[in-house]
């Protein structure tokens, strides 16, 4: 099963794709997480990506396509994968189609998370995650059960993303509208596309996705 998550920054792509990864035993591939790991490692890719990410701009198609292709060729992706944050441009979607054709594979469903724009900046401003296991939380909608302790691994260390501020969010949203929204007609012409009400509480969003997945399987 190969799934794409489409949605603006803060829509809940990471939250829901991590849940799907556990439920279906297929790998979540987040190009944002991969780039943040490169930044942390201080690699050439990381150095090139950091300034663009901090400004809320997209990194180059060629860099991201090369990175993604290496990732989906890894053995754990043979069972399927969940793409979170890729593709983000029509050029990336075309490169993905070529890649999948070479691997004799295809996308089974594109899940589109729909969230009101006014809610996105608040979600992003409240986001934090566990420094040890990466579990994602939110000050308002998804706090840890015990204050200051990760529900999953018990760690007391949390981090906030460098690009999670209101100025960068405005530019991330503009990139989404300009470069990623054209993917909707692109996929509607060729692939099964399912819309999900991302304004529902996190469990309600998961329930809608479960319903869609039962039809796709």
- Which parts are annotated binding residues for AMP? 31, 36, 57-59, 85-88, 92, 161, 172
In order of 31, 84, 180, the CA distances from 71 in angstroms are 10, 13, 21
Q: 140-157 in b/e burial notation, b at 16+ Cβ within 10 A? A: eebeeeeeeebeeeeeee
Contacts with ligand AP5 in 71-100 (CB under 6 A)? 85-86, 88, 92
Active-site positions?
Answer: 13, 88, 127, 161, 172
Peptide bond into 87 cis (omega under 30): yes
Residue 123 interacting with ligand AP5 (CB under 6 A): yes
Rounded Cα–Cα distance for residues 105 and 116 (Å): 34
**DSSP-derived secondary structure letter, 57:** P
Residue 13 interacting with ligand AP5 (CB under 6 A): yes
Angle, CA 47 vertex, CA 46 and CA 49 arms, to 5°: 60
Residue 45 interacting with ligand AP5 (CB under 6 A): no
Q: Which helix (H) or strand (E) holds 16?
A: helix 13-24
Q: Which is nearer to ligand AP5, 68 or 217 (CB)?
A: 68
Residue 10 interacting with ligand AP5 (CB under 6 A): yes
Q: How far is the CB of 154 from Zn ion (least distance, A)?
A: 7
Residue 19 interacting with ligand AP5 (CB under 6 A): no
Contacts with Zn ion in 148-167 (CB under 5 A)? 150, 152-153, 155
| Nearest CA among 182, 4, 194 for reference residue 89 | 182
Q: How far is the CB of 152 from Zn ion (least distance, A)?
A: 4
Residue 56 interacting with ligand AP5 (CB under 6 A): yes
Tokens of 105: 């594979």
Rounded Cα–Cα distance for residues 108 and 24 (Å): 14
Q: Which is nearer to ligand AP5, 109 or 164 (CB)?
A: 164
Residue 205 interacting with ligand AP5 (CB under 6 A): yes
Helix residue ranges per DSSP H, 59-156: 61-72, 90-102, 117-125
For ligand AP5, the binding residues (CB under 6 A) are 7, 9-15, 31-32, 35, 52-53, 56-59, 64, 85-86, 88, 92, 123-124, 126-127, 136-138, 141-142, 172, 198, 200-202, 205
For Zn ion, the binding residues (CB under 5 A) are 130, 132-133, 135, 150, 152-153, 155
């Amino acid at each position: 099963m190969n799934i794409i998550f489409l949605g603006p920054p803060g829509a809940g792509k990471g939250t829901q794709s991590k849940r799907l990864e556990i439920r279906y035993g297929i790998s979540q591939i987040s190009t944002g997480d991969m780039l943040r790991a490169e930044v942390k490692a201080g690699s050439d890719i990381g150095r090139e990506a950091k300034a663009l990410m901090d400004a809320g701009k997209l990194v180059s198609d060629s860099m991201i396509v090369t990175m993604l292709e290496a990732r989906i060729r890894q053995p754990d992706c043979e069972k399927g994968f969940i793409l979170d944050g890729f593709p983000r441009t029509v050029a990336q979607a075309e490169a993905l189609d070529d890649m999948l054709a070479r691997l004799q594979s295809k996308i089974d469903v594109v899940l589109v998370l729909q969230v009101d724009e006014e809610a996105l900046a608040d979600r992003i401003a409240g986001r934090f995650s566990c420094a040890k296991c990466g579990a994602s939380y939110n000050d308002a909608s998804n706090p840890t059960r015990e204050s200051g302790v990760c529900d999953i691994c018990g760690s007391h260390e949390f981090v906030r993303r460098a690009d999670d501020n209101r100025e960068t969010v405005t530019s991330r949203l503009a990139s989404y509208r300009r470069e990623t929204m054209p993917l909707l007609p692109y996929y509607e012409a060729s692939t099964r596309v399912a819309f999900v009400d991302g304004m529902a509480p996190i469990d309600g969003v998961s329930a809608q996705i479960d319903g869609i997945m039962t039809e796709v399987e």
